[in-house]
Amino acid sequence: MPYPVRESAESLNQTQIFKVYIVAGLMALIAGYINSAMLIEFSIPVSQMSGVASQVSAHLVAFDWSLLSIAMLILISFILGAFISGLLIGQQPYNETPNYGYGLILNCVLLTLAALFSFQHSVFSVLLSAMACGIQNALVASYRGLQLRTTHMTGNATDIGVHFAKKIMSKTPWNWQSNVLVVLLVHYVLGGIIGIYAYLAIPNWSLIFPGLLTGILGSIYLRNYSRKTARKARQP
């Protein structure tokens, strides 16, 4: 996979493992929220591309060029988001760089714009949401030496099944990496539930909440990065 070179997940201490749980849970929560809200409004997923690819196939068979173009644009938007994320984090081994914070801030901007476009029920709301999901998924895809899939659960559900099989067949212990998979799945479902209730309550403003959350997370990350950089600069 063309992600940054991973650090060894086995080398993480308890504090770093706890941060992995937090990052995984929050990112999956956000993705589940966005996907459910967009499914209700536009009847098409934006955080996982399997459903979109299936819609491309269906619309091709039906010669429905209008819906086909929308599905294709969503797919392209997600890929573009991942492309932008790849430009931000590059191929270097994992390290603390301000680009992670910039990626989260960019997500905030995209989701805020998506919320504004939803007032006109514009397709741009879907495209911007898909781009934000693409950025997020690639941004944390190799965080701390793990394969964190935060915008779709097919791989996580598969891995959970494999981990159970390994535990039964070879008595492999259920470790914290296995727990991360459960955290991702549970929070994605929870985010979907919250997204549905939020859309039903305030449909046009519902995307503001994940936008604000990513903006806050990005700001916190950049603040902490600046403080650490300043401390290192003061050291002899």
Structural domain of residue 65, as residue ranges?
A: 9-234
For residue range 89-120, list pLDDT tens digits in order.
Answer: 865 556 678 888 999 999 999 999 999 999 98
pLDDT of residue 218 exceeding 50: yes
Domains of the chain: total: 1
CATH of the domain at 188: 1.20.1250
Higher pLDDT, residue 147 or 154? 154
Structure tokens at 137: 């998924």
pLDDT of residue 232 exceeding 80: no
Q: Which residue has the tokens 């994605």?
A: 188
For residue range 55-82, list pLDDT tens digits in order.
Answer: 899 999 998 898 899 999 999 999 999 9
In the chain, % of residues over pLDDT 90: 47
pLDDT of residue 128 exceeding 90: yes
In a domain, 43, yes or no: yes
pLDDT at 1: 45
Find all residues with CB under 8 Å of 11, minimum gap 6, and list them: 145
In a domain, 3, yes or no: no
In a domain, 221, yes or no: yes
Question: Measured between alpha carbons, how far is residue 228 from residues 96, 97, 98 in Å?
Answer: 10, 11, 11
Least confident of 41-45, 146-150, 185-189: 146-150
pLDDT of residue 144 exceeding 70: no
Mean per-residue pLDDT, 175-183: 85
| Residues constituting the chain | 236
pLDDT of residue 147 exceeding 60: yes
In a domain, 4, yes or no: no
Mean pLDDT over all residues of the chain?
A: 86
pLDDT at 93: 54
Distance, in Å, from the CA atom of 14 to the CA atom of 49, rounded to the nearest integer, reads 34
In a domain, 2, yes or no: no
**Most confidently predicted of 68-77, 138-147, 167-176:** 68-77
> Sorting pLDDT into bands at 50, 70 and 90, what band is 172?
confident
pLDDT of residue 7 exceeding 70: no
In a domain, 1, yes or no: no
Find all residues with CB under 8 Å of 156, minimum gap 6, and list them: 149, 181, 184, 185
In a domain, 36, yes or no: yes
Mean per-residue pLDDT, 151-158: 85
In a domain, 159, yes or no: yes
Distance, in Å, from the CA atom of 3 to the CA atom of 146, rounded to the nearest integer, reads 11
pLDDT at 124: 94
